[in-house]
Amino acid sequence: MAGSRLQRIVALALVPTAALGAGALIALRLHYQPPRVPEYVVANASDAEQPLAPHGQFDVVLRPAARVDGAIGARAFLLRGDTVRPWDPPFEVTRDGTVTIAGAVDALFDGVPPGPWEVAVAVGRPEVLPTAPRDVVRARRHDAGADASWRLAVVRVRLE
């Protein structure tokens, strides 16, 4: 009995200690790596709709408009009107925060109906990237401003 009571006391002491430790780590991260990220621009595409033919290549490079410190991640979506489809292409993030998505059209857009689409790439702190379609649609309609922890870069394409 005395052993189980001691175990309960130790467990009760560990939970608040762990919570305080986690809070301290978050505070340190926010101090040394603020959640804000600069705007991202599409470096290798125009505002015009890009035609994507079968057996062709898709390549998009997103560059930060200013210096980026800390971890950067990306999550992509395909938009058509208010329709949002999660999209999981392979991407690469360099040390300076540049994000590149490249590959064969047939592989990247497998199962996506032909026609016009917007490739929307959320770029920012990995832990705050959007997962809900409504967040992507909202970000598409309204710029998040200077305090954004993630940004949305959009490329218009037409799958043929």
Q: Which of 14-23, 49-58, 115-124 has the lowest mean pLDDT?
A: 14-23
Are residues 15 and 66 located together in one domain of the fold? no
Q: Output the six-digit token pair for 69.
A: 């410190």
CATH of the domain at 124: 2.60.40.10
Q: What is the DSSP letter of 49?
A: P
Instruction: Check whether residue 27 and residue 79 sit in a common domain.
Output: no
Q: How many CB atoms lie within 10 A of CB 29?
A: 15
Q: Are 4 and 74 within one domain?
A: no
Q: 130: which residues sit within 8 A by CB, 6+ positions away? A: 75, 122, 136, 139, 150
CA atoms within a 13 Å half-sphere pointing along the CA-CB vector of 152: 22
Same domain, 111 and 132: yes
For residue 85, what pLDDT is reported? Answer: 93
Residue 28 has pLDDT above 60, yes or no: no
Same domain, 13 and 64: no
| 87 shares its domain with 62 | yes
Question: Is 107 in the same domain as 150?
Answer: yes
d(CA 91, CA 117): 19
Q: Which of the listed ranges 3-17, 78-92, 125-139 does the model predict with the highest average pLDDT?
A: 78-92
Strand partners, 40: 64
Domain that holds residue 18: 1-32
The string of DSSP letters for 93-130 reads: E-TT--EEEEEEHHHHTTTPPSEEEEEEEEEE-GGG--
pLDDT, mean of residues 90-105 = 96
